[in-house]
Amino acid sequence: MQLYNKLSAKERAALIEQAGKDRLTLSFYQYAKISNPKEFRDQLFVAWDRLDVLGRIYVASEGINGQLSLPADRFNEFKEHIDTIDFLKDIRLNIAIEQDNMSFLKLKVKVRNKIVADGLNDDTFDVTDKGVHVGAEKFNMLIEDEKTVLVDMRNHYESEIGHFKNAVTPDVDTFRESLDIIEEDLKEHKEDKNLVMYCTGGIRCEKASAYFKHKGFKNVFQLEGGIIEYTRQVKEQELENKFIGKNFVFDERRAEKISDDVIAQCHQCGKPADIHTNCANDACHLLFIQCDDCKKEMDNCCSTTCQEINALPYEEQKTLRKGQGNSNDIFKKGRADHLPFKKDLRNIYETLKADKK
């Protein structure tokens, strides 16, 4: 019985091309008690491998978090299967705004301690006491209220290319970092402000809203289904779109265009740009924003050093990498010192300065 992916990304891409079928990219999550995550993980892999599902799925004792793609003509089979799982029956599936047959090229179902790395001790607060879920229409009303503080629960490289109008965008590298920063900066407004949060698909807000309620915030709201579901509802209900730019996604597409606005800049030349890329030098692989002109000039690399290394014969590159881990720059997500137009650090709560005076 096959329990792990055996094909390379290149081999899988060739098979997708040969199949000539449209694929759907979607995501979902659910907090639930799973007594045996390893057994559940293996069952999912067997069932989904047969349906030609590809993607990145995390399973933990607290639930499941999945981002995946599958042939469009097998969607009903997939839905029928997850409906046989009690805690996934009739779950909302966030269908991607922009489709790409190559969004995922491997099926990876992994057991994790948590389905989102939040760094929280769940035994110290009631994780089920969540904030009020609101749809797009109510969300639009809330964020226009002067008593509302709208907070982006994503990381800096996500909000850099797109965010909601007037949103506070914490300048953090991880979800966990943002929690303490938000609490500290809003500690004087736990009762007189609406704390409204959003993220990509809603999963980070599920835990964050319960955490902030535990910390004493009285009026906590979260965008139901995140940016993905918001965009669907805006189109379906013909509402005003208040999201500016692109929504960062964690697959080969990198982002989905929500509006025509380009709010970021190329990290190498400063021109308007909002397309993330990974440095072509496998020993670096830094994620950064690069315009088409720099992509051509720099051969998809983040520096001349990486460009020179990437131009070497493959075997020579492998020799140079032997015994070496990735550069620490890979974790800087566009903040590497050699990028002249990387995102500047800033006070993330300028919107509250007047209130604090």
Q: What is the number of structural domains in the chain?
A: 3
Cα distances (angstroms) measured from residue 320 to each of 168, 200, 208, 279, 310 = 42, 38, 43, 16, 11
User: Do 36 and 74 share a domain, yes or no?
Assistant: yes
What's the CATH number where 86 sits?
3.30.70.100
Q: Is 56 within a domain?
A: yes
**Which domain range does residue 305 map to?**
276-332
Local mean pLDDT, 10-residue blocks, the chain (357 residues): 88 95 96 96 97 97 96 97 97 94 96 91 89 98 96 95 94 89 92 96 94 96 97 97 96 94 96 95 92 97 95 89 64 79 57 44
Q: Is 320 within a domain?
A: yes
Q: Is 19 strand, coil or helix? A: helix
- pLDDT value of position 332: 65
User: Do 148 and 230 share a domain, yes or no?
Assistant: yes
C-alpha closest to that of 57 among 168, 277, 46, 228:
46
User: Do 140 and 222 share a domain, yes or no?
Assistant: yes
Q: Is 260 within a domain?
A: no
- pLDDT value of position 351: 43
CA–CA dist 48, 51 (Å, integer)? 5
Q: Is 341 within a domain?
A: no
Asked about 199 being catalytic, the answer comes back as: yes
Strands 287-289 and 276-278: antiparallel
- pLDDT value of position 350: 47
User: Do 162 and 214 share a domain, yes or no?
Assistant: yes
User: Do 101 and 28 share a domain, yes or no?
Assistant: yes
Q: Is 258 within a domain?
A: no
User: Do 75 and 131 share a domain, yes or no?
Assistant: no
Domain stop point among 239, 258, 292: 239
- pLDDT value of position 263: 96
Cα distances (angstroms) measured from residue 210 to each of 123, 133, 207 = 12, 12, 5
User: Do 149 and 217 share a domain, yes or no?
Assistant: yes
- pLDDT value of position 328: 52
Write out the H or E segment, with its range, that includes residue 80: helix 75-82
CA–CA dist 357, 355 (Å, integer)? 6
The pTM score is 0.88
- Distance between start and end Cα atoms, the chain: 65
Strands 54-60 and 107-111: parallel
Q: Is 12 within a domain?
A: no
User: Do 89 and 138 share a domain, yes or no?
Assistant: no
CA–CA dist 314, 282 (Å, integer)? 10
